[in-house]
Amino acid sequence: MDHEASADGGAAPGAGAGTVEISAAQRRTVFAGLLVSMFIAALASTVITTGLPTIAGELGGVDKVAWVVAGHLLTNCAATPLWGKLSDLYGRKPLLLIAIGVFTAGTALSGLAGDIWQLIAFRALQGAGVGGMITLCQAVIGDIVAPAERGRYQGWIGAAFASSTALGPLLGGVLVDTVGWRWCFFSMLPFAAVAFVVIQRSLTLPPRRTQVAVDYPGALLLVSGVSALLLLVSFGGQRFAWTSGTSYGLGATAAVLLAATALWELRAREPLWPPRMFRSRSFTAQCAAAFLMGSTMYASMVFLPQFFQIGRGYTATEAGLLMLPFIAANFVGSTVSGRLIARTGRV
């Protein structure tokens, strides 16, 4: 690799401050484990989408099936900053291995779920692990790769994330139609085991004992507020009318809790996200774009496969194939934009 040391144990030159110097061979091995981790973490978000109608038919709860995805994303979102804070306190490697362990447990239990509520709960556990894997894989790259080289490595991470997201609906459809929806989960377990073993054996980082405070109240407020909002949008118009007292109550609860989250973060000693970051117009614009992209992408991922199968009578595999134009455009857009950002230095 360019600017790296030879595989005989030399360290990469030009390592930046805070970068751990390791051999090029060790770096490649660690990076392979990180790529596998990122691949299955992203795959877990989309592989089940084409199987949702089948799951709803087998486990019941058509009105609850959206929570199989929403619960996963909720814990992913809430856990992400906590994993980062805890890794500052206890170290990247042990926290990354724990995150992979949480992911593996949630994945295995999801495949064994006996009813829709169990599946929702186990998917939420899986999502908590995914949040740690995504955050800490990128943090480890920052620890072992010099600043001048990080863009190239992050590009590979982005490619792994985009390709697994693209593969998910089609792979899920094929698995559902051949061996059953539970293999959407079981098929990821060997890859999780490989990632765990590779990282455990090859990653060597010095102990970290950075004194940080973990913002547990902020995380609790955020999860509670988003949960109330999800309950409203998931069950409004189905279990209760949009104009009912329940709808108004959930809406008010969500507004109060999310406002309380914002106020708490302004005063927290170690906030989940530093409020000063929002003074940057670029950062704020990126957050808004990410919100719009995520809401559009995941809504399409969840509901389009159900529409194709329930509304149009296609099989799960056919629904996955029909999703390919959407996913291909997503992949091309993310890849091209990533290269443009790397080339121009502007978002």
Listed range (150-154, 181-185, 217-221, 251-255) with the worst mean pLDDT: 150-154
User: Could you tell me if residue 243 is inside a domain?
Assistant: no
Is a pLDDT exceeding 50 seen at residue 96?
yes
Give the domain range for residue 45. Answer: 24-214+315-339
Is a pLDDT exceeding 70 seen at residue 14?
no
Q: CA angle, 183 as apex, 180 and 185 as ends, to 5°?
A: 135
Is a pLDDT exceeding 50 seen at residue 7?
no
What value does the mean pLDDT take over residues 163-172? 81
Contact 171, 317 (CB under 8 A): no
What value does the mean pLDDT take over residues 54-80? 83
User: Could you tell me if residue 307 is inside a domain?
Assistant: no
Is a pLDDT exceeding 60 seen at residue 8?
no
User: Could you tell me if residue 103 is inside a domain?
Assistant: yes
Write down the mean pLDDT value for the chain: 82
Q: For residue range 32-41, list pLDDT tens digits in order.
A: 999 999 999 9
User: Could you tell me if residue 209 is inside a domain?
Assistant: yes
Q: Rg of the chain over CA atoms, in angstroms?
A: 21
User: Could you tell me if residue 2 is inside a domain?
Assistant: no
Is a pLDDT exceeding 90 seen at residue 325?
no
User: Could you tell me if residue 148 is inside a domain?
Assistant: yes
3-state secondary structure the chain: CCCCCCCCCCECCCCCCCCCCCEHHHHHHHHHHHHHHHHHHHHHHHCCHHHHHHHHHHHCCHHHCHHHHHHHHHHHHHHHHHHHHHHHHHCHHHHHHHHHHHHHHHHHHHHCCCCHHHHHHHHHHHHHHHHHHHHHHHHHHHHHCCHHHHHHHHHHHHHHHHHHHHHHHHHHHHHHHHCCCCHHHHCCHHHHHHHHHHHHHHCCCCCCCCCCCCCHHHHHHHHHHHHHHHHHHHHECCCECCCCHHHHHHHHHHHHHHHHHHHHHHHCCCCCCCHHHHHCHHHHHHHHHHHHHHHHHHHHHHHHHHHHHHHCCCCHHHHHHHCHHHHHHHHHHHHHHHHHHHHHCCC
Q: What is the CATH number of the domain that holds 95?
A: 1.20.1250.20
For residue 164, give the nearest of 38, 52, 71, 80 by alpha carbon.
38
Residue predicted with more confidence, 16 or 186: 186
Residue predicted with more confidence, 279 or 330: 279
Is a pLDDT exceeding 90 seen at residue 215?
no
Sign of CA dihedral 35, 37, 188, 185: negative
User: Could you tell me if residue 334 is inside a domain?
Assistant: yes
What value does the mean pLDDT take over residues 154-173? 79
Q: Which amino acid is at 311?
A: G
Is a pLDDT exceeding 70 seen at residue 18?
no
Total domains, the chain: 1
User: Could you tell me if residue 115 is inside a domain?
Assistant: yes
